Structure 1
Amino acid sequence: MKIALDAMGGDNAPSINIIGAKDALAEYPSIETLFLVGDEETLKKACAEHKLTDARIQIVHAKEVVEMHESGAKTLRSKKHSSIAIATELVKKGEADAVVSAGNTGAAVATATLKLRTLKGVERAGIASPIPNEYGVCNLLDAGANPEATARHLVTYAVMGAIYSNHVMGVKDPVVGLMSNGEEDEKGNSLTKETFALLKQLEAAGKCPFSFKGNVEGHDLFDTKLDVALCDGFTGNIILKSCEATAKAMSKWMKIEFKRTPLRTLGAAMSRGVFKAVKQRSSYESYGGSPLLGVNGVCIIAHGGSSGLAMKNAIRVAQETVDQSVNPHIEAALASLDEAS
């Protein structure tokens, strides 16, 4: 297993990437080579600072960095020697099995799409972002790669999300729902109505590699047996960021309220274990990264504010996605749909 890490990507790069790399190498012996892509001198100093001396590390120099505020599409032309571009190029050349980045999401999506292209049968790639719910994890797809999705794109996302849930997350019969403004069949806008009709046709023909739940609402992300929630990237990105902001706000408000009286403070201390468990379950750090499904290679996109733990887990997700041969399974599932149509 060879993984290319965009070591300059992220709000706290390269430090958090070096920490994540060190922990991943210690925990995952199947990693044969971990490429650290970025400015060579900067990375050498960071490795020395964090005592990363593992022989499996290989530094690949990249003289440019795509900043978080930059346009992802424009940097493809203006920064051809960026760390994300060179890391992705390693996958394109077959020198690495996967690329991991906590940097500019737009740049990661654009670079992977341009350099790796899409799988046969896939028109647009989509980001599958994990959201914890009562039954495990629901993957929101698309979480931001394709804001102008069509019904055909969403049907492809349903297949890809189900394959990922099945092979990587171990879900035997994935449940797929379509995000809408109501559970009734007739609810939704033109995109969701057209998607609903196409998925119902597949279901009626017995060609779905998943169970179609139908229309689902916001609360279903958390309290319904749901493995994949379909939406366009514009909607998905808003949902994802709203969930993150709500979790942060609730944590902040609870801390304020617990400090109001000594009795509340004591209660908080007694419940420390509960709070720790909930935080671990709801934190993106535990899940690591989100796969960009549909590209002809493995690309894992981590949160820009990732910690070392999150980066370690992002590397784990990359490893699992490669190990479970997700892309060949996606191509096979889409080919079977084409043969049936």
Structure 2
Amino acid sequence: MTDHGNGRGDSIAIVGAGAAGAGAAYALRNAAIDVTVFEKSRGVCGRAATRRKNGCRYDHGANYFKDQDARVTELVTETLDTDGLAEAEGPIWTFDADGTVSEGRDTDDHKWTYRAGITQLAKRLFDRTEATIEKSTRVGAVERVDGGWTIADTDGTDLGRYDALLLTPPAPQTADLLAATEWDDDLRGDLETAVRDVSFRPTITAVLHYPFELDRPYYALVNTDKDHAIGWCSREECKPGHVPDGESLLIVQLGADWSADRIDDPPTEVIPDAADLTADLLDDDRLADPDWTDYQGWRYAQPGDAVAAEPLDRAAEHGVFFAGDWVAGEGRVHLALRNGLDTGDRIGKRLLS
């Protein structure tokens, strides 16, 4: 077993390289703490994800991040490299259960991404740190040992010992990990119950490409009454550098009920139905026949509420911490990032006190 501490409480394992994990690692960048991040996928930024295909870049999870938090705004616009920082151009309009589109919900908030995609947010945060990032590594078990934490992957391979632990996966996955954790039974049980009580809504994302440009006066449409099969439809060509001129790329995110019903169906069946719904909503029959598509089923896309704080506060006394949008209570990238920054600050103060 590799011991990453030196007896002074200066090592931490962060599970998850999403916005919260990146924010925590960034907050610890100047502390005398060895940071190792374990990420199950091959990339960073979690549900704030970007793909590339056929000359296009597209944010198929979180579509952008807002400037509604002063610390995040200063970080993004003044501290981090701003080269390539971009904004989705155009307002957000609304539609109801009948598919009636209306002007509205246009605010002064910035809708930020990057020309290279929203994953740049986490990449730029990690670039400012000396954190070790272990990708394609799924943590399957943790154990309290001698005042620290040992970690193993899902194959049982030892991943080392750390003085503190930060868990950032979606609440259901975090609860499963807690269920497999060996330590104080009463607190572990209270934590698992509190975390498992956080509800999550699924979202299916259908990516639909067309070899022509749509003429619409908005960047995106959002369903306000939650009674339409589509929850969100945005035009990725409104983001600088994402889609070549003369083409259209729609990011269609299906509503929670529709997604829950279809999350286990094969993409080959889901995509045509999503395209038909999109053609009907935008009143354009051409949209039922995209020339290429992509798919992502987000089983844990949006938290419905926040976790109870009291068990999390008790857990900190044992060197285990939690961060993410489900801790903040709303599925927004800027909130997950701010929660990660604040949690990183707390961890630094606790370990170095």
TM-score between both structures, scaled by the size of structure 2: 0.28
Question: Greater strand share, 1 or 2?
Answer: 2
Question: Greater helix share, 1 or 2?
Answer: 1
